[in-house]
Structure 1
């Protein structure tokens, strides 16, 4: 059931996650009336959510008005993580020492918030997302930031799936974030890039494994 705040956004997140995990297969139709009934909401936000997923290339509208799932395979997950690796490691290479110093405390605050969430056995997807977005913004490259932000919503859904699959390994994952910050602090950029690559490849593996389990 979808709650009554930010309804369309919640529906988008819900449907995107189900599509990525394979609940809806390639060619499956998504019908506004059926989804409205299933989720307990009016058709308006469902229609809005479907439009957003069409724009994300997860759904397609046919000439007869039918909306169908395009399909989302493991390779699509791998491609998205490859995109993140390219964008985020490139960003690390463009962060100068002053921008790092100016943002270090915020990076450490995000890590502290991750630790607090883990202590209370909670999942804070937005903090993880904010940490990585800040790394990209620290590069002070508007084109790079725009490319990353364009995929932000689907990145958030991948983090959601990954964090569920890696719930018992949060301490290790949080430490990976700290290791990246410490490498940047020592101006060990190549090491930070490798740590970030390893971190995202592990996240990709968690996400792909989760998709396999949902089949």
Structure 2
């Protein structure tokens, strides 16, 4: 098999394409670009300070993920994610995040337990201070550590993608009165089950946690 050859310029291009893709995806998922908005290569190139090549590649990847649609004579148009998408993602998360918690309980290291405990302590601190921005940060960190502790790269990849896709919904939930306190208590119970290596309980508590987050999102959406 011939050895793949590449130079620094290719590395730079790949890195640039990834950064552009991540930024555009984040802007779509957080509502900066709304459904129906056109993604104009030239304008994005000027705004991001890059050539049109990584823009074009990023838009193609966004199209593959279903976030944009190529329309003749109009270019790339934002589709975003639908309410059905969000509902499906919460349902899928219940299944696979429960599995991640189960595997984390079985495979977590002492160092990862310390990291999880620290994230939980910060979450408690910022819950008491009602600092939503920091709270969201450490909520994500808590979940990320569990994903890493499950020792499954495919599962980690799927979970990270799903978290990105409903970031806006998750952020809004922390503005609901009482939800941050409940989320912290749920995390605390999950942490204790993982520390006990109680895989069954860790899985069940995580499924309940995601279900509660889904119910909270639906209540917010109905009020909106």
Instruction: State TM-score, norm by structure 1.
Output: 0.74
- Unaligned regions of 5+ residues in structure 1, if any? 1-5
* 1:158 paired residue number: 169
- Within 1, Cα distance between the matches of 2:104 and 2:40? 46
Question: Residue 68 and residue 167 in structure 1: after superposition, are their counterparts in 2 closer, same or farther (change >3 A)?
Answer: farther
Give the structure 2 partner of residue 17 of structure 1: 30
1:148 aligns with 2:136: no
Between structure 1 and structure 2, the one with the greater Rg is 2
Tell me whether 1:68 sits opposite 2:81 in the alignment: no
Helix, strand or coil: the match of 1:79? Answer: helix
Q: Does 1:192 align with 2:202?
A: yes
- Aligned residue for 1:88? 97
Note if contact 2:105-2:198 (Cα within 8 Å) is conserved in structure 1. no
Partner of 2:12: none
Query: Partner residue of 1:114?
Result: 123
CA shift for structure 1 position 183:
1.6
Q: Which runs of 5+ in 2 are unaligned?
A: 1-18
| CA-atom RMSD in angstroms | 3.4
Quote the offset at 1:55 in angstroms. 4.8
The DSSP-based 3-state class of the residue aligned with 1:140 is: coil
1:204 matches 2:214: yes
Secondary structure at 2:182 match in 1: helix
Q: Secondary structure at the match of 1:72?
A: coil
1:160 Cα shift? 1.5
Q: 1:44 to 1:78 in 2, by over 3 A?
A: same
Q: State the number of aligned residues.
A: 198
**Partners of 2:84 and 2:167 in 1: CA distance:** 18
Match of 2:7 in 1: none
CA distance in 1, matches of 2:216, 2:118: 25
**CA contact under 8 A between 2:40 and 2:76: conserved in structure 1?**
no
Task: Say if 1:114 and 1:42 are closer, same or farther in 2 by CA, change over 3 A.
Answer: farther
What is the SS of the residue equivalent to 1:106? Answer: helix
Give the deviation of 1:147 after TM superposition: 2.2
